[in-house]
């Protein structure tokens, strides 16, 4: 039987407990067998400033997922052209792993911007998207994608933490240890990142 892999794409600069809670919830409370945390070198919609090197962000994802057998860090996008368009990564993954079935994992907030993604119509037609709730800035915003048969809602806990907040807090010398996995915090501290 094909393995069902959920792809959780992210810049992970750095990975925090919000990311980890979602990845773990998705693999435990949906039909996914594994979740791959795909570290993206360059999100087409984001500036590259304040970004840690790819291998450092990957190392942090390794540390965060240690001991979680169903969560796998992935550097698959490191060797692909940048910026990283998800549609291209999906083509590559399906060629490389023909025995796997792949689905995307996305927060409700990302679904609101999904129309800006390259070939989003193809992504949606050819893949399931597992969507988890986020706090909506505008409660009345209707999302036309939500009704699509390939969009599957998974009720996961909402933890409003962001990497931006963590980077700023570290620069301001605040203690944000509870927002990061211990081994992630130790590496950031050791390497003096974000100061």
Ligand X SMILES: Nc1ncnc2c1ncn2[C@@H]1O[C@H](COP(=O)(O)OP(=O)(O)OP(=O)(O)O)[C@@H](O)[C@H]1O
Least spacing, CB of residue 160 vs ligand X, in Å? 6
46, 73 contact by CB (below 8 A): no
- Among positions 3, 28, 31, 44, the unique one binding ligand NCN when judged by CB under 6 A: 44
* DSSP per position, 124-166: HHHSEEEEE----SSTT---GGGGSTTEEE---------HHHH
Q: Does 135 bind ligand NCN (CB under 6 A)?
A: no
Binding to ligand X in span 10-69, by CB under 6 A? 10-13, 18-19, 22
Phi, psi dihedral angles at 42 (to 5 degrees)? -150, 105
Nearer to ligand NCN, 118 or 174 (CB): 118
Q: With CB under 6 A as the contact rule, which of the stretches 26-34, 42-50, 136-144, 170-178 interacts with ligand NCN?
A: 42-50
> Using CB atoms, what's the residue nearest to ligand NCN?
9
Helices 182-191 and 54-65, packing angle to 10 deg: 150
Which stretch in 28-36, 96-104, 107-115, 186-194 sits in contact with ligand X by CB under 6 A? 107-115
Question: Looking at 38-46, 47-55, 167-175, 176-184, which segment touches ligand NCN (CB under 6 A)?
Answer: 38-46
Token duo for residue 95: 């060629």
Radius of gyration of the chain from its Cα atoms, rounded to whole angstroms: 16
Q: Which of 5, 3, 14, 1 is nearest to 60 (CA)?
A: 14
Tell me: cis bond preceding 102? Omega within 30 of 0 counts: no
Among the listed residues 65, 84, 127, 181, the single contact to ligand NCN using CB under 6 A: 84
Distance CA 95, CA 102 (A): 11
Residues of this chain that interact with ligand NCN (CB under 6 A) are 9-11, 40, 43-46, 84-87, 117-118
Residues of this chain that interact with ligand X (CB under 6 A) are 10-13, 18-19, 22, 106-107, 109-110, 159-164
């Amino acid at each position: 039987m094909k393995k069902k892999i959920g792809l959780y794409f992210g810049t992970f600069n750095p990975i925090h407990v919000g990311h980890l809670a979602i990845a773990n919830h998705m693999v435990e409370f949906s039909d996914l067998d594994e979740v791959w945390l795909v570290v993206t070198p360059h999100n087409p919609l984001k500036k590259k400033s304040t970004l840690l090197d790819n291998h450092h962000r990957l190392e942090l994802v390794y540390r965060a997922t240690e001991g979680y057998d169903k969560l796998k860090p992935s550097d698959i996008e490191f060797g692909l052209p940048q910026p990283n368009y998800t549609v291209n990564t999906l083509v590559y993954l399906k060629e490389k792993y023909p025995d796997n079935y792949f689905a995307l994992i996305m927060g409700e907030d990302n679904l609101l911007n999904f129309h800006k993604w390259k070939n989003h119509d193809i992504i949606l037609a050819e893949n399931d998207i597992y969507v988890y709730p986020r706090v909506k800035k505008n409660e009345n915003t209707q999302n036309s994608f939500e009704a699509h048969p390939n969009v599957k809602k998974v009720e996961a806990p909402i933890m409003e933490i962001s990497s931006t907040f963590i980077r700023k807090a570290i620069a301001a010398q605040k203690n944000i240890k509870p927002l990061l996995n211990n081994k992630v915090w130790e590496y950031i501290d050791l390497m003096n990142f974000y100061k």
